Amino acid sequence: MGGHNKNYLQLRIAVKYKRKIVKLRRLYRQLNGTRLFSLLSIVAVIGLLANPFSSFQTAAKLPTKLQLAEFPIVVPTIKYGFALDTFQVMEGSIKNNQFLSQILENYHVDYQSVDKLATAAKDIFPVTKLRAGKDFIVLTKDSTQAADYFIYEPDVFSYVSYQLKPPFEVKKVDRKIETEIKTASGIIESSLWNTMIDNDLSFELASKMEDALAWSIDFYHIQKGDQFKVIYENQSIDGKTVGVGKVLASYYKNYDNEYYAYYFENKKHHGYFDGEGRSMQKAFLKSPVKFARISSRYNKRRFHPILKRVRPHYGTDYAAPRGSKIYAVADGVVTKSSYTRGNGNYIKIRHDKSIQTQYLHMNGFAKGIHSGVHVKQGQVIGYVGSTGLATGPHVCFRFWKNGKQVNHLRLNLPPPDPMPTEDLPAFYQLRDSLKIQLEAIPYRSFEQKEIDLAATNATNQSTSKTKKTGP
């Protein structure tokens, strides 16, 4: 999940900057680019990538009639630990099946040097880890001579600088992640995901919010009009959001039920607690998949879609894309990881003397999952598929109690005990301050956004005298 989010985020960032870069290139072409301008554009683009939110500082150097102020350009002095303006900066991207020696050939670096570099890099960031499609930067003092440095960014969190001359110094530098407390809210229109997108929030935040509430909310019953608020750590590098840290507090209102989750830690506990200091971590998770939808419920008189006859359905089906992760709903020991024609690939876990859970139609098992293995609550045990008697990808989740399959959604499992009395005062203090912060977060509904947009348009059309009232 995390990987997808990050890729999605990076993709969004990449698309955003590509557009800006294209705009910039067009602009400099208009300037009938002399060498100075093309060099400037490279520096400017680097500056843009370095800090897209910085104030505009180079306007004075360029013709004013072009109104460049809309482009947040800054010429950096120091980046990757170098004073970039003292080098010629060249950009490129690694092609498929391209060796470092082939890339560096273009910058007059001989094979012997590349060989020494590869040896020097071995324990820091081996050159074999360079990936096709990734961008790099080459720094050179004199473009007719061998270049000085090759800089590669494996991800937004770090960069590697390779010195191309003796002593071939190789450095991997982790960028400083800034953490800032942010808040968000939303009113559900269709799904939690769509609401997150509408509010410009990430899937990572949705997922972490769901974790905070530990699925104590039946996310399969969320409805239009449900409300959520969240206080979380926003992580950024050079002003660019790169991820979500911890969710510190979350509020969710479903029908007339209000749920709170507060993050609290001391020497003995850490995790999410409700307003009374009870752990949000239930003995059993509500479902074995995230963001899934119930496609068929526990039903003793169900008409089977494949067998075309009434046959009891002793499980709850969660439909999810093929390959979605399946989680163990509680700690336990795997007693079966097997295949039958009906069940397809399935796993059975014993949780205590009376309770077992079973997961059917899996695409495959997670690495290391087999009979006899201990699993933790929330551990990935396999992936959604449609093996066995199944019409589409889903997990048929079965809950066994004293040897009988029961409807787990109807079970009233006892709430966990509150934390020990001596820890409660510290918890209550934290809870109260977080609750005040949660209450202060305003909602911005879909309708409100429409109104804001209309207001902006109305302001822009200052010449127009007529103004419509109402929606």
Cα angle value 348/377/188 (rounded, 5°)? 110
Question: For residue 175, with 0-12 CB atoms within 10 Å meaning exposed, 13-18 middle and 19 or more buried, which class applies?
Answer: middle
Q: Can you tell me the distance from the alpha carbon of 326 to that of 378, in angstroms, rounded to the nearest whole number?
A: 9
Beta strand 293-296 pairing with 316-319: antiparallel
Nearest to 68 by CA among 113, 23, 105: 23
Q: Contacts for 96-103 with beta carbons within 8 Å, 24 or more apart?
A: 96/132, 97/132, 98/132, 100/127, 100/130, 100/150, 103/136, 103/150
The CB-of-389 to Zn ion minimum distance in angstroms stands at 9
Considering beta carbons, is residue 192 or 362 the nearer one to Zn ion? 362
Start-to-end C-alpha separation, the chain:
39
The CB-of-286 to Zn ion minimum distance in angstroms stands at 17
Q: Can you tell me the distance from the alpha carbon of 253 to that of 405, in angstroms, rounded to the nearest whole number?
A: 31
User: Are the C-beta atoms of 6 and 243 separated by less than 8 Å?
Assistant: yes
Total residues in contact with Zn ion, by rule CB under 5 A: 3
The CB-of-345 to Zn ion minimum distance in angstroms stands at 14
Considering beta carbons, is residue 201 or 396 the nearer one to Zn ion? 396
Span from 249-257, 335-343, 391-399, 450-458 in contact with Zn ion (CB under 5 A):
391-399
Return the structure tokens found at 99.
């060796």
186 in contact with Zn ion (CB under 5 A) = no
Span from 180-188, 394-402, 421-429, 458-466 in contact with Zn ion (CB under 5 A):
394-402
Considering beta carbons, is residue 315 or 393 the nearer one to Zn ion? 315
The CB-of-390 to Zn ion minimum distance in angstroms stands at 8
Considering beta carbons, is residue 177 or 294 the nearer one to Zn ion? 294
Helix H or strand E segment including 103: helix 100-105
Span from 7-15, 27-35, 113-121, 393-401 in contact with Zn ion (CB under 5 A):
393-401
362 in contact with Zn ion (CB under 5 A) = no
Q: Can you tell me the distance from the alpha carbon of 274 to that of 257, in angstroms, rounded to the nearest whole number?
A: 13
User: Are the C-beta atoms of 233 and 180 separated by less than 8 Å?
Assistant: yes
User: Are the C-beta atoms of 278 and 417 separated by less than 8 Å?
Assistant: yes
Considering beta carbons, is residue 206 or 396 the nearer one to Zn ion? 396
Considering beta carbons, is residue 252 or 397 the nearer one to Zn ion? 397
Considering beta carbons, is residue 229 or 398 the nearer one to Zn ion? 398
174 Cβ contact partners less than 8 Å away, ≥ 6 residues apart = 157, 158
The CB-of-343 to Zn ion minimum distance in angstroms stands at 10
Beta-bridge partner residues of 83: 78
Span from 100-108, 222-230, 343-351, 392-400 in contact with Zn ion (CB under 5 A):
392-400
Residue nearest to Zn ion (CB): 396
- Whether the bond between 167 and the residue before it is cis, its omega within 30 degrees of 0, is yes
Site string for Zn ion, 304-343 (x = CB under 5 A): -----------x-x--------------------------
Q: How many CA atoms lie within 13 A of 157 on its CB side?
A: 5
Residues 100-119 that bind Zn ion (CB under 5 A): none
Considering beta carbons, is residue 236 or 296 the nearer one to Zn ion? 296
Considering beta carbons, is residue 213 or 396 the nearer one to Zn ion? 396
396 in contact with Zn ion (CB under 5 A) = yes
The CB-of-388 to Zn ion minimum distance in angstroms stands at 10
Which residues sit at the interface with Zn ion, rule CB under 5 A? Answer: 315, 317, 396
